[in-house]
Structure 1
């Protein structure tokens, strides 16, 4: 009856796992979001157009409004302000993201599309230029509060030059290639593949470019971003938007002419002199944009956290930012978010289990207390003292039992989590079929049954309640492997079951399976903790000196001399406090001793061998002597 209640309890927990879905389920209605661009429509944003036109956003159940960087009355929109003020959900930026993050906090970058900054400084090809020092002798076009000027300042400071020696002009001034031809400036800022370079080439003005990256200033260019509040509220939507956008960019870079032709029908750019220039300009810009993405050498949208930290440090040198930045919060990491969610959920389940266990303990304690109270009235004083001692001993045994159960439940709970995560992923990607579902449910039921049996098995492992019996060692090995199957497969461990004899052992079948489980689990943990291309666990079953032997071998590096004397001690562990209790091998040794056997281990090449030696039958048990 008690086992049935426990099975019902864990069935309820499994049901809660299935019902509670950490990922947002897609509704029938599409999610509507706004993307704020940096400038007017041009090939610089082709990936987002392609994601919309090719249906990639729709495939992710998203409806996207793509807004240009200028209003109809030519008012320039600041993408970071639009996002922070809630008028847009996503934006495109670069260094301005770091400036806004320092000022207000709360932004999160999603994908860096341009792996190199497009900011370039143009100079007449006839003017000699060998290093940034030469700029100090020239007339340089600068604007106050200009994002383009930041990389010029960083480049000069990197060469030990104070940028303040160059005068700064009005922030509303607009630079043109004619400024160099007319000798107004020797150097003007612009963009690689931008309008200044386009018209300079078209009109035959020979300009050469000065790129900050050539002088150690390696800034990211266009980067997709949103707010941290939006990420925390709906990380699934952010990931779907990122995924669709990168598919769009891949399509746009592979099919630029098709996208440009569609752009000509859909958009115009008031900065250009004619409608014909719009298509020519986008064709010209497409070549430059592809170079800046480093596609296909670098994955589209790749983010190198170190480079963003270096950008931030350069801004610090310019005294444009001064507050510390938390890169873990600043950079979107969907996998990490899911992992944290899973950890939180598992912690909640463990807390529930602990509460249940504590409730059970309290019930037992109250029950024992009441019985002890009745006993006080019936027994003499010295008998009362003996009862109290007995009561305390029972509590200590109960504490040890609960510690054992907690130790044995940890890995099955992890395996249950793996099974459920795999079911969820199969469902989300449309790969869930009836066979896989029933197989997963079967493994889940087996784990639940094993956890239920653990309560009785370990309650009596020091003084076994069950009678000894003959059982096949291979059956016990199969039972332990069925529980650890997910963990072995998930960690890419090769399992070799070799030299198998159909040997029987004489003892406690379930507890013997638990010993196999503990040793295999230790081998898995050891293999996971090391860097080795091929991870192997080998299991052998054979007769040795008329005794039944199960040998488990791994290539996890072996046991160090410093701890070899302590590995079977209670509560001794080399794992973190949250990962191990130090009871596994202690219980294994106790169980095998109760079966009139022993455990023999030795370091071998690349790993360790654990041999479980027990009697083969009742006769051998009676005559058995340990070495």
Structure 2
């Protein structure tokens, strides 16, 4: 680990020599005999602390201090004034300009080392504290987004349950009517192959609608909880939900199960993540006008891989793909939080890892559970 870099600004060579002798064992030291040169050094070097003489020709310490804090925060580069004066007005002016401390001449080694060490430690502490605060704020923002997103899902779930309740009776009536027609045909010894096919098609479609309602209701259930779930079943439910979008865009979706895998997760949240990834794949396939668009979903031990043939993610974008508000879409097509939330859901809520890479034909997203 590199030593902190101290800048000594003093027009007196004897003073500089003493300070360098005191500090050089514990710190890297750079010196300047004018305020102008000192400002150039500060612009070009990462200075950790400045020992600044007040009384210098051409540009005094007060002016140097003002110019430093026009560009830098006082916590970023603490300034300790060095003075032969014990004038209270000078000391007060220095503090008002943002200096953190002062030492008087003649120098005492113990005092210099103690004050420098204290302010270097304070600077590091403040930087670490600010970093931790920013990190916690970002975590809370992510949690708030997830909670907001989930509250929206609860509202949608209530509406969907209401719709499902209204739909189930008509669907049951349709099935009953089909059975009635089938029975009537049998009683009258009518065997029309075309009618039988149409009746069978109606039954298949009503069963599909009933299953879709059930999948939506389970996905949007506000009381969902973490449990052991079969990955193939999760993918199947996801494909049921977005079947129409895939079909409408003539996208072939292939599900390959290499290994039967059951993992501890919240089923609805994994479906949510898969929908985000698959929707992005569909958008990429459409945008790039792929002739034979396809998505391969592969299930292996404790992981799901989703690969498309849309040509991949641009090199400049792939490192930023999970950052909040990063998007390559138009303003009215997305806010850039889908994949960011997806990563948070997988890694913070389901003890897994979400990653992406470019492969020969396109992009490959992988969800791996621990």
Normalised by the size of structure 1, how large is the TM-score?
A: 0.27
Structure ranking higher on relative contact order (CA contacts 8 Å, 6+ apart): 1
TM (norm. structure 2) is: 0.44
